[in-house]
Amino acid sequence: MTEDTMSLFEETALNAKNKRVQGLYRTLFMLMTLLLITPVVIILATLVVKGSAVLSIDFLFTDPTDGMTAGGIFPALLGTVWLVTVALLVSVPLGVAAAIYLSEYAPDNWFTRLINLAIINLAGVPSIVHALFGVGAFVIFFGFGTSILAASLTLAIMTLPVVIVATRESLQAVPQAFREACWNMGATRWQTIRKVVLPNSISGILTGVILEVSRTTGETAPVMFTGAAFFLPFLPQSVFDQTMAMSLHLFVVSTQVPHVPEALPYGVALVLIGMVLIMNSISIAFRMYLRGKKKW
Amino acid sequence: MSEQNPSSVEIMDAFDRRDLAWFIDKLVQVLVFIGGISAIVFIIGIFIFITMEGFGFLLDTLDFREFFMSPWWEPTDEDEPSFGILALIAGTASVTGLAMLVAIPFSLGAAIYIGEFATGKKRESLKVLVELLAAIPSVVWGFIGLSIMNPLIIELFDVPVGLNVLNAGVILGLMAAPIMTSIAEDALKAVPDRYREAAEAMGATRWQVIFKVVLSAAKNGLLGAVLLGVGRGFGETMAVLMATGHAINIPGSVFDSVRALTATIAAELGETAVGSDHYQALFTIGIFLFVITFVINLTADLIVRGIRNK
């Protein structure tokens, strides 16, 4: 090897400078990322520290007392379970059907683009506008009154895009060759979807559903006027009753009720955020596990 | 025509498989189509129902000039109620503007770090963290503004009230940033690696590649991310309701309390009589919000798709 080729790979002054500049930029962007994440982590840590003071099994499973300044959050917790369950019963079948249509049937034309645009816009409509729609359509027009049914339908429509997008993605991840093999055996489209496409994408759909549960749990504005009440002395018996809800309960105890002990709303916030983050973590972990397991 | 050559009708019959499976297949096709068009039905339904509720006001009482130009929102005044949303628009715009000042640089910076610099485990865990931050419900953000930011602002800046544009703007910025980060990172990821390789082969350093090649190739996607952040800011309800101070005001500084369009609906709808002018005026604000966010989302989608088709 001659000296010329040796020097070709040696670091010149320019190389060294470039390296320094690049290191500088790398550090700068890393700092920006950390600055974005750190405050939120500190805030969450504060919530955990202050909230854990009131957290106990009793807190979760007893009724609020003394004008909501003491006691637990059981009716709100149960109400959220009601709202989420009824919303899922509507949005999952509808969302999965929409995703099957978009992934397996829809031709690539203007109408399909219109559907996609509608989905994007449905996700972008402000939550309070969804609330107005819920009041106008379900509470007044269809006569459900302020009830779990009206609130859950509003939530279902609002979170429909979450199910559609997640399901469509996992359906499209099934290789086309799987479908073609099945068609060649003489199966109809639906037989192919039921026996080949859905079994191969069911876990992806499930992660989408978990995400939707998490979204639905945290939404406040859409249920405020459609079915969630500030305080109820009884538990809901059917979908036509009103209910309390975790998200609204946090709003109420932190803004509407006088003389609430400081720690109480922290406890409510901690439970709410705990529910949401745990569900999202499950969904993410599930997705990673699936990605590792995938055979094709 | 001999008997060995069956007629075309017989061939058709032999291939005709209109059995039960065929009918089920057709039925399912119709059912999933209904699911498919549901999104369109709901979008149109939302527009129709909120317009229906606000219709009387839109036709009779509404004075467009007053509605958009007057800063006086006094719907419950007994003698002369006035329905001007200028101050509310100013409230929403100031909070969203400040939120974008916070969110745009940090989310783009984070997207560049996650997408271009970070590798392996570090990259994966940052992405997961960002996704988790995006999931925090807005009412929790509102509570954070109320109970953590409020005393912090009072202490740091020595002002009497900590519920103001600054508080809501920072909260909204922190809220919008994770979503903007993941969309921006998607846009960076969509830039083909051969662009980077070509630039590096020309002797460009990593940061030159990022600034001169990747960012300019991804600029539409990044713009889309920013627009979606703006749309999110306009539509956010609970956090701004709790953190702005909820005072009707055209803000002169970031320490003024304001009130947002969304928050006005959330705070007042429960107190109005169904069908009253006030009630219908709130639905009219809803129509305004619907139209604005519709336009923002449409534009963002067109911009983002523009680059994909290219």
Q: What is the DSSP letter of A69?
A: T
The verdict on B97 and B54 lying in the same domain is no
The verdict on A157 and A222 lying in the same domain is yes
The verdict on B160 and B23 lying in the same domain is no
By C-alpha distance, which of A137, A288, A141 is closest to A222? Answer: A137
B77: pLDDT strictly greater than 80: no
The verdict on B269 and B122 lying in the same domain is yes
In a domain, B67, yes or no: no
Q: Which domain holds residue A25?
A: 3-51
| Number of other residues whose CB lies within 10 A of the CB of residue B237 | 30
**A289 interfacial to chain B (CB closer than 8 Å):** no
The verdict on A34 and A62 lying in the same domain is no
The verdict on A73 and A147 lying in the same domain is yes
Confidence check on the interface: ipTM exceeds 0.85, yes or no: yes
The verdict on B192 and B305 lying in the same domain is yes
Q: Looking at the partner chain, which of B178, B238, B289 has a beta carbon nearest the beta carbon of A251?
A: B238
For CA atoms B172, A248, B293, B276, the dihedral sign is negative
In a domain, B243, yes or no: yes
The verdict on A33 and A172 lying in the same domain is no
The verdict on A142 and A244 lying in the same domain is yes
Q: Which domain holds residue B199?
A: 86-309
The verdict on B167 and B53 lying in the same domain is no
Return the percent helix, strand and coil in chain A, to nearest 5. Answer: 75, 0, 25
Residue of B nearest to A278 (CA): B132
- Which residues, 6+ apart, have CB-to-CB distance to A17 below 8 Å? none
Contacts of A35 in chain B (CB under 8 A): 106
In a domain, B2, yes or no: no
In a domain, B79, yes or no: no
In a domain, B277, yes or no: yes
Dihedral in degrees, nearest 10, Cα atoms B48, B49, B54, B55: 50
- Residue A70's beta-bridge partner residues? A65
The verdict on B119 and B204 lying in the same domain is yes
The verdict on B146 and B269 lying in the same domain is yes
Per-residue model confidence as pLDDT tens for chain A (296 residues): 455 555 666 778 888 888 888 888 889 999 999 988 888 889 889 999 999 888 888 889 888 888 787 888 999 999 999 999 999 999 999 999 999 999 999 988 889 989 999 999 999 999 999 999 999 999 999 999 999 999 999 999 999 999 999 999 999 989 999 999 988 988 888 999 999 999 989 888 988 899 899 999 999 999 999 988 888 888 888 889 999 999 999 999 998 888 888 889 999 999 999 999 999 999 888 888 887 777 66
The verdict on A62 and A44 lying in the same domain is no
* Residues A90 and A132 sit within 8 Å (Cβ to Cβ): no
Contacts of A179 in chain B (CB under 8 A): none
The verdict on B154 and B45 lying in the same domain is no
The verdict on B156 and B232 lying in the same domain is yes
The verdict on B20 and B110 lying in the same domain is no
The verdict on A40 and A62 lying in the same domain is no
Look at chain B and report how many structural domains it folds into: 2
The verdict on A67 and A91 lying in the same domain is yes
What integer pLDDT is reported at residue B306 of this predicted model?
A: 67
pLDDT tens digits, residue range B4-57? 566 777 777 766 667 788 888 889 999 999 999 999 999 999 999 999 888 877
The verdict on A140 and A16 lying in the same domain is no
Q: Where are the beta strands (DSSP E) in chain A?
A: 64-65, 70-71
The verdict on A237 and A131 lying in the same domain is yes
Report the distance separating Cα A234 and Cα A75, nearest Å. 8
In a domain, B66, yes or no: no
In a domain, B92, yes or no: yes
The verdict on A44 and A66 lying in the same domain is no
Q: Which A-chain residues 13-52 have CB contacts (< 8 A) with chain B? A: 18-19, 21-22, 25-26, 28-30, 32-33, 35-37, 39-40, 43, 46-47
Contacts of B140 in chain A (CB under 8 A): 47, 218, 250, 269, 272-273
Q: Which A-chain residues 183-212 have CB contacts (< 8 A) with chain B? A: 188-191, 193
Task: Specify the CATH number for the domain of residue B273.
Answer: 1.10.3720.10
The verdict on A75 and A126 lying in the same domain is yes
In a domain, B77, yes or no: no
B1: pLDDT strictly greater than 50: no
By C-alpha distance, which of A225, A130, A124, A218 is closest to B234? Answer: A124
Residue of A nearest to B128 (CA): A284
Backbone angles phi and psi of B265, in degrees to 5: -60, -50
Task: Specify the CATH number for the domain of residue A129.
Answer: 1.10.3720.10
The verdict on B118 and B13 lying in the same domain is no
The verdict on B189 and B97 lying in the same domain is yes
Look at chain A and report how many structural domains it folds into: 2
